[in-house]
């Protein structure tokens, strides 16, 4: 079973996120909309800081003259901002139109819809009656859930549960059906009272569809909201090459919204229907692509650690050969042990994929499929391409080696919302601090990295008189051009500290009686709680230094 401490921890994080204005449910006053989330005043700053840190560290702050640790050579980085709706042919050639789907299954009785691959079950028998009991619970919650469901189905009391005979352990419903060891007629759906209420699985394309133009009606007007930002980069590859002075190897970065009509959005913002991605498509010579893949995998891993995620909760997982997409030469996921998952379970934050020349070739030639180990153009019964490419030449000519090739692509693809959620979960701490009278008081503190913290410093006059507010306002105005800071004179100083701790503000500056005589302020550190006296005129330089 999931560790109850972790579930209650997750509940507290969700409630703090709402109470302090990090994350709200979208359209909440109308009852909310499943799979859509809004960022409140603190949340928008946190997520923006995260995206800015990514853009700075990967793109604008990148030293293109240096050879970074593990990189085969120096490289350049550039950026793009593409549209959400693109030419429908983009999705046909990329494979999303035909292949970007999940299998869903409906329950005729409960009217609930499930992802086929999320259902697990096992055979249960009692006094000659047999049923394949399923659940959509994950992790360690799944087995106890099947026991409870079987007990109810057979009409047993708690003490009779041992009378149930179990035919093996939990297995995927999809695999059991494929192997013929279960049928839908024998299957008790996760919310059904009787077996045989689940429908045949159906494909469900995850792309949101829309129509272009006022007179939209026929099939030619169909368009899609992008399910990833990557394709905008591939189709602009030549534009970037022709208009900037970049040479392979180089990367193009993009941050933007993506949309996936997820069948079962869940786990707070982890699986949303509208979310933001931070993607890099890195173009390199085929001969060096394996080295670049390893470089990016390790570089992206280090980025999360540098921003303070707990190493013991992060995992770098190389995909096994049977997990790889048909075009991928290698993929690794960076995963985080979110509190809503069972013990030992991790959720993906970012995937780093070696995609070979699949994407550029797809947009030149048309939709590709793997045949006898080779990527070839998919053709229809008439021998014509199933989805025709642009016909444009997207190869690269290296004028130093005099070679022409289609660059290989390494793709580090991260989710801004999932990363924000991981940083929120990781930052959440409860501890005890002495109050104004020295008595222990429990506090909730968000230990966010200063670069990510929505507010960097709070300026607090101890009392609202004796000239303290005036000094505090001057300090606030001196700091504000350099960093997000807040002026707060309302309530006891203990309560003001508590408010800032919950917001994740790393530094509080208190103006007190001593400030008026010796021109020093108290600098309180959120995590260590150390308080030091700092000359007023050194505060700006000191905090700027700490932020660097």
Chain position whose Cβ is nearest to ligand ATP = 415
For 337-427, list the strands marked E by DSSP: 347-356, 368-371, 374-377, 396-398, 403-405, 408-415
Cα distance between residue 229 and residue 235, in whole Å = 11
Toward ligand ATP, which CB reaches closer, 136 or 365? 136
Instruction: Return the number of the residue (255 or 457) whose C-beta is nearest ligand ATP.
Output: 255
Q: Which residue from 197, 222, 198, 22 is spatially nearest to 104, judged by alpha carbons?
A: 198
**Cβ 128 to ligand ATP shortest distance, Å:** 41
Q: 53 vs 182, which CB is nearer to ligand ATP?
A: 53
Query: Which residue, 72 or 347, is less far from ligand ATP as judged by CB?
Result: 347
Query: Measured from the CB of residue 109, what is the shortest distance to ligand ATP in angstroms?
Result: 28
CB of 259 to ligand ATP, least distance (A): 9
Alpha-carbon gap, residue 451 to 308, rounded angstroms: 10
Q: Which of 294, 366, 354 is nearest to 327 (CA)?
A: 354
Q: Element (H or E) spanning 487, and its range?
A: strand 485-487
Which own/partner pairs from 21-25 qualify as long-range (CB within 8 Å, at least 24 positions apart)? 22/46, 22/424, 23/268, 23/269
Whole-number Å distance between alpha carbons of 15 and 61: 36
CB of 353 to ligand ATP, least distance (A): 7
DSSP string of 520-534, one letter each residue: EEEEEETTT--EEEE
| Structure tokens that stand for 258 in this block | 């993506």
C-beta of 392: minimal distance to ligand ATP in Å? 25
Output 140 or 348, the one with its CB closest to ligand ATP.
348
Q: Pick between residue 351 and residue 461 the one whose CB is nearest to ligand ATP.
A: 351
Q: Which is nearer to ligand ATP, 115 or 247 (CB)?
A: 115
SS3 of the chain: helix, strand, coil, percent, to 5: 35, 30, 35
Residues that bind ligand ATP (CB under 6 A): 228, 260, 262, 271-272, 275, 277, 348-351, 413-415, 417-418
Taking the complex as a whole, the smallest distance from the CB of residue 262 to ligand ATP amounts, in Å, to 5
In sequence order, which residues have a C-beta less than 8 Å from that of residue 31 and are 6 or more positions away? none
Cβ-based nearer residue to ligand ATP, 84 or 125: 84
Residue 505 tokens, joined: 């503000």
CB of 70 vs ligand ATP, minimal distance in Å? 22
Smallest separation, CB 276 to ligand ATP (Å): 8
3-state DSSP call for residue 409? strand
């Amino acid at each position: 079973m999931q560790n109850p401490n972790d579930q209650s921890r997750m509940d507290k994080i969700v409630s703090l996120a709402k109470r302090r204005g990090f994350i709200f449910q979208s359209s909440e006053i109308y009852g909310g909309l499943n799979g859509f989330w809004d960022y409140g005043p603190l949340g928008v700053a946190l997520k923006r800081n995260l995206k800015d840190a990514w853009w700075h560290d990967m793109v604008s702050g990148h030293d293109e003259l240096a050879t970074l640790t593990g990189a085969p050579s120096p490289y350049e980085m550039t950026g793009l901002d593409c549209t959400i709706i693109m030419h429908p042919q983009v999705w046909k050639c990329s494979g999303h139109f035909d292949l970007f789907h999940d299998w869903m299954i409906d329950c005729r009785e409960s009217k609930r819809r499930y992802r086929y691959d999320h259902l697990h079950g096992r055979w249960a028998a009692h006094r000659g009656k047999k049923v394949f009991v399923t659940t959509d619970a994950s992790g360690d919650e799944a087995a106890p859930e099947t026991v409870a469901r079987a007990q109810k189905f057979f009409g047993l009391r708690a003490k009779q549960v041992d009378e149930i005979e179990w035919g093996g352990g939990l297995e995927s419903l999809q695999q059991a059906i494929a192997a013929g060891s279960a049928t839908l007629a024998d299957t008790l759906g996760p919310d059904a009272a009787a077996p045989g209420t689940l429908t045949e699985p159906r494909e469900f394309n995850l792309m949101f569809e829309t129509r272009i133009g006022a007179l939209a009606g026929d099939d030619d007007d169909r368009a899609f909201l992008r399910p990833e930002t990557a394709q905008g980069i591939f189709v602009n590859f030549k534009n970037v090459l022709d208009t900037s002075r970049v040479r392979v190897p180089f990367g193009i970065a993009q941050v933007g919204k993506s949309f996936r009509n997820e069948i079962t959005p869940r786990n707070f913002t982890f699986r949303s229907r509208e979310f933001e991605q931070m993607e890099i498509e890195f173009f390199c010579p085929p001969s060096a692509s394996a080295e670049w893949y390893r470089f990016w995998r390790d570089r992206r891993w280090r980025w999360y650690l540098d921003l303070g995620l707990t190493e013991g909760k992060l995992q770098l997982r190389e995909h096994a050969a049977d997990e790889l997409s048909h075009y991928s030469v290698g993929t690794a996921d960076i995963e985080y042990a979110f509190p809503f998952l069972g013990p030992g379970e991790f959720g993906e934050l970012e995937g780093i994929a070696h995609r070979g020349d699949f994407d550029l070739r797809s947009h030149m030639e048309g939709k590709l499929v793997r045949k006898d180990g080779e990527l070839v153009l998919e053709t229809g019964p008439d021998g014509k391409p199933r989805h025709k490419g642009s016909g444009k030449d997207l190869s690269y000519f290296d004028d130093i080696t005099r070679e022409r090739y289609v660059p290989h692509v390494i793709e580090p693809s991260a989710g801004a919302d999932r990363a924000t959620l991981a940083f929120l979960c990781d930052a959440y701490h409860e501890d005890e601090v002495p109050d104004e009278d020295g008595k222990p008081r429990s506090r909730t503190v968000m230990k966010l990295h200063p670069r990510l913290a929505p507010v960097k410093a709070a300026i607090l006059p101890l009392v609202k008189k004796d000239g303290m507010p005036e000094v505090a306002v001057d300090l606030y105005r001196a700091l504000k051009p350099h960093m997000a800071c807040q002026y707060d004179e309302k309530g006891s100083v203990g309560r003001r500290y508590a408010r800032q701790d919950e917001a994740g503000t790393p530094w509080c500056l208190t103006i007190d009686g001593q400030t008026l005589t010796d021109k020093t302020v108290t600098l309180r550190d959120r995590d260590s709680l150390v308080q030091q006296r700092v000359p007023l005129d050194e505060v700006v330089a000191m905090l700027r230094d700490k932020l660097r």
